[in-house]
Amino acid sequence: MNFFARITRRGWLKLVAGTVGAFAFSQNAWLPWNSPSRRHDEEILWGHVQRILNHPESAAVIGRKYLQCRTCEADAGLLTKLIAGGVELVTLESDTGSEKLRKILRSRIREDFLNDRVVTLEGWVLSLTEARLCSFVAVKTDKSFALG
């Protein structure tokens, strides 16, 4: 009896679900921060970050250092969620969005420093938000992070 002859209807459904799940997992699409709307958020954030940062290449250098320590965060969607921290990024889809984001980040960075959410990367004492922002740039610009 071959494999297909033995499989039941319930078994077939399980197999399909598993295969789809595995594919989704490989693409990180099952994760809540990788839903289409989140992908849109990621693009909004990336657009603004490119405008905000003076020198994204430098930010990426710092970001890579952070991701060496926290490999689990090496995902643009997850970083978008962590950086946004509850802010609906769609609300920043305007010409003044970058300025708004800059203010939000500035305030969050300050809060990080006040509340001990601080990381030391290669000696730099940085806020967690800064480190994640740099990591976001690293993930977006470095192909080695493409699979998360």
Binding site for other proteins (CB under 8 A): 53-59, 61-62, 65, 106, 109-110, 112-114, 116, 118, 120, 122-127, 134
CA distances 128 to 4, 7, 9, 79, Å, are 52, 51, 50, 11
Minimum Å gap between C-beta 101 and other proteins is 17
Between residues 31 and 52, which has the closer beta carbon with respect to other proteins?
A: 52
123: left (phi over 0), alpha (psi -120 to 50) or beta: left
Between residues 1 and 125, which has the closer beta carbon with respect to other proteins?
A: 125
Minimum Å gap between C-beta 45 and other proteins is 17
Between residues 38 and 65, which has the closer beta carbon with respect to other proteins?
A: 65
Tokens 């430098």, located at residue: 58
Cα–Cα nearest to 78, from 18, 136, 142: 136
